[in-house]
A = this chain, B = another copy of it.
Amino acid sequence: MFVRNCWYVAGWSDEFTIGSPQARTIIDQPIVLYRTPEGDLVAMEDRCVHRGAPLSAGRCEGSALRCLYHGLKFDRTGICVEIPGQEKIPDRARVRTFAVEDRHGWAWLWMGNAEAADTALIPAATGIDNPDWRMGRGEEVFAAEYNLLNDNLLDFSHLSYVHRNSFKADEKWATERPTVTVLDRGVRVQRWIANAPAIASARDLGGTPVDTWSSYEFLIPGILLMETTFCSLGTAEASDFGPPVGGILRENRSSQAITPISARSTRYLFCIGSRASDASPEDADATAAVARMAFLEDRAMIESQQEILDKSPGFAPMPTTADKAIVHFQRIMKRLSSVAG
């Protein structure tokens, strides 16, 4: 049901401080993450081999982690190196470890076999740590399966309805269709919204008639890398409806990660902001606040949708032409789900 061979965002890198093990559940797997004295991230199953106790309730000892139920100690590769009161340590006394990487302000976890983890596959997110961009951040947990969040982000026609109060998006977001390009591990969605009020994440531009260039990649398992460029009227046509050539008033970026906790619980992390040269920290916080309001609107909608779907065992969606990116993305997910992890 979950794709294993991909990088999931386990959290913000700064959530994991030296010597402080943290529990996370990702695709229904209990994981413990901790940072060694050298600053390296370690991720392993949050389950002592002895009796299944949580290693996340344990104690960091140097780069090792001691279970605080009966004292078994594991090195950073997951191998048990001490059983108090017992000399012989069985070969099977090892905990599975996971490949984990700090990148773009996030801790990325490869849930498949660690040997197959290829850091080149980590999406090139514009992160909270990027000096060129001034990002605010936020997160929410949705009581819904993660595919419903992915579907939401793959079809921005909902902006005109779900986010009429937060983003104040024009109807054109619903009535005009983007160009969808299929990528190896996701899709690219691009469009101009010409001559319409700028959405509210444009800060002081919000409501001003502009040409808006919206371009994003949505990559497995649920990573959104978005740029939204607000341009003066006429820029769309002057750019021949390709990426904007001049006329730029404001550039926004947002990186968003959908991380399944379990079948009906999903963590949603996001950062959003403008060029650092063009925004103060207060601007970034204000933009993030608008986004947070929007994502609470999404949460209300999606949690209700989930409740309804759970009461509707035979329900099959009826795709519209707005669902092109969803259809392609689901196809990619299906292909990758069938690969053993």
For A337, the chain B residues whose CB sits under 8 A away are none
- In the bound complex, do residue A85 and residue B157 qualify as a contact, i.e. CB atoms below 8 Å apart? yes
Whether B84 contacts A317 by the Cβ 8 Å rule is no
Binds B, one of A109-117, A129-137, A300-308: A300-308
Q: List chain B residues, Cβ under 8 A from A52.
A: 305, 308-309, 312, 315, 317
| Cα–Cα distance between A3 and B47 once the two chains are bound (Å) | 28
Q: How far is A29 from B312 in the complex, measured between Cα atoms in Å?
A: 8
For the complex formed by this chain, how many copies does it contain in all? 3
Interface check A277, CB cutoff 8 A: no
Residue of B nearest to A176 (CB): B85
Closest-CB distance, A4 to chain B (whole angstroms):
15
Question: Is A84 a contact of B162 with CB atoms below 8 Å?
Answer: no
A15 contacts the other chain (Cβ, under 8 Å)? no
Q: How far is the CA of A157 from the CA of B52 in the complex (A)?
A: 16
Question: A318 contacts which chain B residues (CB < 8 A)?
Answer: 49-50, 90, 92-93
Tell me if B308 and A174 are in contact (CB < 8 A): no
Pairwise interchain contact B171-A84, C-beta atoms closer than 8 A: yes
Majority DSSP secondary structure for residues of A touching B: loop
Are A29's CB and B305's CB within 8 A? no
A174 contacts B70, C-beta separation under 8 Å = yes
Residue of B nearest to A156 (CB): B70
Give min CB distance, A153 to chain B, whole Å: 13
Given contacts A301-B69, A305-B52, A305-B69, contact A320 B83 (CB under 8 A): yes
Q: Mask for A175-201, Cβ within 8 A of B = 1, else 0? A: 111000000000000000000000000
Q: Does A71 contact B (CB under 8 A)?
A: yes
User: Which of B46, B69, B70, B308 interacts with A53 by CB under 8 Å?
Assistant: B308
Sample of 9 more A-B contacts, CB < 8 Å, known A53-B305, A70-B158: A53-B301, A53-B304, A57-B300, A68-B162, A69-B158, A69-B301, A83-B321, A84-B171, A84-B174
Where the two chains meet, the residues of A that have a C-beta atom closer than 8 Å to any C-beta of B are: 25, 28-30, 46-47, 49-54, 56-57, 66-72, 83-86, 90, 92-93, 151, 155, 157-158, 160-162, 164, 171, 174-177, 300-301, 304-305, 307-309, 311-312, 315, 317-322
Listed from nearest, the 8 A-B pairs whose CB atoms lie closest are: A84-B174, A54-B304, A68-B161, A85-B175, A49-B318, A86-B321, A52-B309, A51-B317
A-B contact pairs, 22 of them (CB 8 A): A30-B308, A47-B308, A47-B312, A49-B318, A50-B317, A50-B320, A51-B151, A51-B305, A51-B317, A52-B317, A53-B304, A56-B304, A57-B300, A57-B301, A57-B304, A68-B301, A70-B320, A70-B322, A84-B171, A85-B322, A92-B318, A93-B318
